[in-house]
Amino acid sequence: MKRVIPVLVLSVAGLIPVWRYEPSIGTTSTTTTTEAVSTPTPTATSSSPSSSSSGSSSTPSASTKKVVQGTAINTSKGTVQVQVTFEGDKISAVSMLQQPNHPQTTAAVPVLIEETLKAQSSKIDTVSGATITSDAYVQSLQAAIDAKGA
Contact residues: another protein, CB under 8 A: 110-134, 136-137, 139-143, 145-146, 149
> What is the nearest approach in angstroms of another protein to the Cβ of residue 118?
6
Q: How many angstroms separate the first and last alpha carbons of the chain?
A: 106
> What is the nearest approach in angstroms of another protein to the Cβ of residue 49?
26
> What is the nearest approach in angstroms of another protein to the Cβ of residue 76?
21
49, 33 in Cβ contact below 8 A?
A: no
Nearer to another protein, 63 or 104 (CB): 104
Nearer to another protein, 96 or 143 (CB): 143
Task: Report how far residue 25's alpha carbon sits from residue 36's, in angstroms, rounded to the nearest whole number.
Answer: 17
Q: Which amino acid is at 132?
A: I
81, 70 in Cβ contact below 8 A?
A: yes
**98 phi and psi angles, rounded to 5 deg:** -140, 135
> What is the nearest approach in angstroms of another protein to the Cβ of residue 102?
14
> What is the nearest approach in angstroms of another protein to the Cβ of residue 67?
33
CA nearest neighbour of 106 among 70, 77, 69, 71: 77
Nearer to another protein, 3 or 123 (CB): 123
96, 82 in Cβ contact below 8 A?
A: yes
Nearer to another protein, 12 or 111 (CB): 111
Instruction: Tell me the sheet residues that pair with 90.
Output: 87
Nearer to another protein, 63 or 126 (CB): 126
